[in-house]
Structure formats: structure tokens, C-alpha cells
Amino acid sequence: MTRRLTMALPSKGRLREPSWSLLEASGVSPQEPGERVLQSHCLNADIDLLFVRADDVPEYVQDGVVDCGITGLDLVHERGADVEVLLRLGYGKCSLQAAVSIEDGAQGIEDLKGRRIATSHPRIAAQVLEDLGIEAELVQVTGSVEISPRLGLADAVIDLVSTGSTLRTNGLRSIGKIFDSEAVLVGRSGSTDFEARRTLTMVLGSVINARANRYLLFNVRKELLDEVTALLPTKGSPTVMDLATSGVVAVHALVPASIIWSLLPKLEACGASSILTLPVERMVP
């Protein structure tokens, strides 16, 4: 099918900037970016964009207003939307955590039995409490969940946490995590034969994969090659090339960005020299 793809993007809030920069890095940025624009087309791709609140994206996709969209995984579950998660995007990471005031004696979620819990995620909270067999009263609030205990509205909260600094600032302490979230690309359930959607998922996925990796290059004497390459992650095989200087080879490999800091000193100690790491733009495994 070759019709134009329609996609909902967060128009404001935490997921806006990283979502727009993901589209830019993927070469499909909006044609008329701007704070007040509600609709746009993509550069270089047959995609029509609709800018809406991240909260509204799950319903828009479920109801077929758009073919796909970017939102938080927490919002997909909280709305109970019948959509398909096409891709985890690796940003907007946070978790729903239960927290109590620092003076409270509760040690774990099971200690919330019979207590009042404020949350803006009542559906996920109710499901988790039911699964754990904990009966508690949920108080639904739409914002500033973390001040509910101080206002006397609740004994505890179930709220989104990324660094934990908002909890600490409000005199709260986490007593357990109940749900992990991150930004996701979602599509309508069941429309798998949609070529443009598959292409978009692949292109965004290639950028997400690339961001997590670095291209590593170094030189090493041939007799040390086995020892040095044994330090590299086992996935994939490094490229080894002879240099003009006899007895020395250049090694190229793709490595996870997260291990670079610990890998480089080991490579150097093992005899590698002229070590370079480069960012990767796209990666299709």
C-alpha cells in the first residue's frame, strides 16, 4: 500500500523535544516546525504529522485518526488503548513508583494495605494492587501527585519517577517500582501490511540502534591481535586490515556506547594504539 502515512507527535511536554530530534536525525523532520503549528508534512517522506498532547496519542491511534504516533508506554497502558507497540524509542525513560513520606514506616508496597494512595495512573495502579492482592483506596489526581501527602489528601503516592529528585524535594521516599516506561512508537492493531509504517519503523529503529553504539578503530601489532580482540564484545566479528607498516593491523568494530569507558583503558593496556571512537548515524542489524 503506498498511501501517505499519518503520525501523531507530542506537541508539548517532556516527549516533544526528543521526539522531534529523533525525526530530524532520521531525515524526516517536519517541514514547518514551530510552537503553534498543529499539522505539518515531513521533509523527504510521505508522512503527514499531527501535533497533539502525548496523553491523546493512544486514542488517536486506536480510533484510526492517525496510523501511528509517539507517546509514553505508561500512557498506552493507562488509557487501555488497543494499539500495537512498534518500537521502543530509548528516551522518556521513567518508572511508576509507590512512595510515602520519609517519616512513614511503610517498607514495601504490601504495607499500603488499607491506605489512601494518590495517583494520576489509576488504571495501572489498580491492576498492580489487584495482582498483589492489596486492597487500598486510590485517589485520582491529574497533576502534582507528589504534594498529595502534604495536603492530607493521601498517605502515599504512585507517581512517575525518573531521577527521584522530585520525590526527595517533596519529602517522599520510594518503597517500590510497579511499571517501567519509555517513549514508544505505536500503530493501529492489526494493520501490519502497511508498507509506509514498516519503513518508518525501520528508519527510526536504525537511528535508535545507532545511538546505543560507537564505531571503534585502533591499531595493534599482529602478535597481540587475539589478546586485544578477546576484549571486544563477542557479537559480530571485527574487521581486521593490514597497514602499510608491516606487522601492524587496524581493527574496526561496533561496540555498545555503554562499555566504551571501561573498554578503552583495557585496549590501551593490551597494546592497542591510535584508538578512535566515532558516533554511528544509522544501524540496521
- Does position 76 interact with ligand AMP (CB under 6 A)? The reply is no
Residue 176 interacts with ligand AMP (CB under 6 A)? no
- What phi and psi, each to the nearest 5 degrees, are found at residue 2? -120, 20
- Single out the segment in contact with ligand AMP by CB under 6 A; choices: 67-75, 134-142, 144-152, 228-236: 67-75
CB of 177 to ligand AMP, least distance (A): 13
Helices marked H in 138-246 — which ranges? Answer: 165-169, 195-211, 225-229
Closest to ligand AMP by CB, 94 vs 178, is 94
**Do 126 and 184 contact (CB within 8 A), yes or no?**
no
The answer to whether 13 contacts ligand AMP (rule: CB under 6 A) is yes
How many whole angstroms separate alpha carbon 84 and alpha carbon 69? 10
Span from 19-27, 37-45, 71-79, 272-280 in contact with ligand AMP (CB under 6 A): 71-79
Residues sharing a CB contact under 8 Å with residue 163, sequence separation 6 or more, in sequence order? none
Asked if 75 interacts with ligand AMP (CB under 6 A), we say yes
CB of 190 to ligand AMP, least distance (A): 24
Pairing, β 47-52 against β 5-10: parallel
15 binds ligand AMP (CB under 6 A): yes
CB of 164 to ligand AMP, least distance (A): 9
Q: Assign residue 231 a region: left if phi > 0, alpha if psi is -120 to 50, beta otherwise?
A: alpha
14 three-class SS: coil
Q: Site residues (CB under 6 A) for ligand AMP?
A: 10, 13-15, 54, 72, 74-75, 92, 94, 160, 162, 181
